[in-house]
């Protein structure tokens, strides 16, 4: 359906006023040079925008934003700065999680009339941790052409600088804010044979890293902060080292992406650490489940961990 919709989408021509002069040509300015924006096809255009450095936007993205009938944005204040920087006068329409149910039918009506709408997020690629998915699904169901102008993504940017395997990865987004639920979710991800990528708020970073270390063992990780911005930094190390650093240093400033290596990428786990994990697990789990959980985190044979768990139970005082 998507291919057919794209093929059928009409290419819109410049608008003229009946009996009057043509409407002002749509344009954008880059590197001090004004450039006209050619008409674009009717439909919904997904446009990636910079995650920090405004110079990371593509020419195609600028042309699409300038030629669209409207730009749909999470926070129009943020997006207005971007459009103004490039001399784009396209009207902005707020589309976010709080008004999406109300706005979606209205936007679909505009698309049905043959308008070209551009969807952006506050930063990066739309549909990654934002409400764009339902609009895309509804547009496709209505036979509307949907296309993308790809570009910056915080997930991919963090992966490229983390120094961890990139051949397979899982983007998990934000983990639950409460430690118990967070650790349960981390434990569910423990056996995923891929690098894990998370978003996290600065104030929860230290606790989140501590929970990652407790549930995944001492895997390698990286904390990428303020990517593409002036104060960009990437701290790499084991999850234990990272947790200790941010526990001592306190919450950092800026946008945070956490990358964790896949199973088998961490350093060997010390015997005393294994025993601590087992004792903690045995407080709430059966011997079998405790052994399975610790084996998952340490990448050690389950039979070996099960034997250690039995030894711990046998050494407990009556």
Residue pLDDT tens, the chain, 318 long? 333 334 444 445 444 444 444 555 799 999 999 999 999 999 999 999 999 999 999 999 999 999 999 999 999 999 999 999 999 999 999 999 899 999 999 999 999 999 999 999 999 999 876 678 999 999 999 999 999 999 999 999 999 999 999 999 999 999 999 999 999 999 999 989 999 999 999 999 999 999 999 999 889 999 999 999 999 999 999 999 999 999 999 999 999 999 999 987 555 677 888 888 889 888 888 988 888 888 767 767 778 888 999 988 886 544
Q: Tokens 């118990």, residue?
A: 180
Q: What share of the chain is helix, strand, coil (3-state, %, to 5)?
A: 45, 20, 35
Counting beta carbons within 10 angstroms of the beta carbon of residue 33, is it exposed (0 to 12), middle (13 to 18) or buried (19 or more)?
Answer: exposed
Residue 289, pLDDT score:
86
Q: What is the pLDDT of residue 1?
A: 34
Please provide the CATH number assigned to the domain covering 155-260: 3.30.950.10
pLDDT confidence of residue 273: 83
Residue 272 pLDDT: 84
Superfamily per CATH, domain 2-152? Tetrapyrrole methylase, N-terminal domain (3.40.1010.10)
Domain ranges of the chain: 2-152, 155-260, 271-315
Structure tokens at 266: 């961490």
Find the helix packing angle between 271-282 and 302-315, rounded to 10°: 70
Give Cα 206 distance to the centre of its chain. 19
State the pTM of this model. 0.76
The dihedral formed by the CA atoms of 203, 208, 210 and 214, expressed in degrees to the nearest 10: 170
pLDDT at 292: 82
Q: What is the pLDDT of residue 94?
A: 96
Q: What is the structure's pLDDT at 266?
A: 54
pLDDT for position 15: 43
**Residue 17's pLDDT is what?**
41
């Amino acid at each position: 359906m998507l291919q057919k919709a794209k093929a059928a989408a009409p290419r819109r021509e410049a608008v003229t006023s009946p009996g009057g002069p043509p409407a002002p040509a749509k344009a954008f300015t880059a590197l001090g040079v004004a450039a006209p924006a050619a008409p674009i096809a009717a439909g919904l255009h997904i446009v990636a925008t910079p995650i920090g450095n405004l110079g990371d936007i593509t020419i195609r993205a600028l042309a699409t934003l300038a030629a669209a009938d409207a730009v749909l944005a999470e926070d129009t204040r943020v997006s207005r700065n971007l459009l103004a920087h490039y001399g784009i006068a396209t009207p902005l329409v707020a589309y976010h999680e709080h008004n999406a149910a109300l706005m979606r039918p209205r936007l679909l009506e505009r698309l049905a009339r043959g308008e070209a709408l551009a969807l952006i997020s506050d930063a990066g690629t739309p549909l990654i941790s934002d409400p764009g998915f339902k609009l895309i699904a509804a547009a496709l169901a209505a036979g509307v052409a949907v296309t993308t102008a790809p570009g910056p993504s915080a997930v991919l940017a963090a992966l490229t600088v983390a120094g961890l395997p990139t051949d397979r990865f899982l983007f998990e987004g934000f983990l639950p804010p409460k430690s118990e639920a967070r650790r349960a979710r981390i434990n569910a991800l423990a056996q995923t044979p891929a690098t894990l990528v998370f978003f996290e708020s600065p104030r929860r970073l230290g606790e989140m890293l501590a929970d990652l270390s407790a549930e995944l063992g001492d895997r390698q990780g990286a904390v990428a902060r303020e990517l593409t911005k002036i104060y960009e930094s990437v701290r790499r190390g084991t999850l234990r080292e990272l947790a200790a650093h941010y526990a001592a240093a306190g919450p950092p400033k800026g946008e945070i992406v956490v990358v964790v290596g896949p199973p088998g990428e961490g350093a060997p786990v010390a015997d005393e650490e294994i025993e601590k994990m087992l004792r903690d697990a045995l407080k709430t789990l059966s011997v079998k489940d405790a052994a399975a959980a610790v084996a998952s985190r340490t990448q050690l044979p389950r039979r070996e961990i099960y034997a250690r768990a039995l030894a711990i139970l046998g050494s407990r005082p009556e």
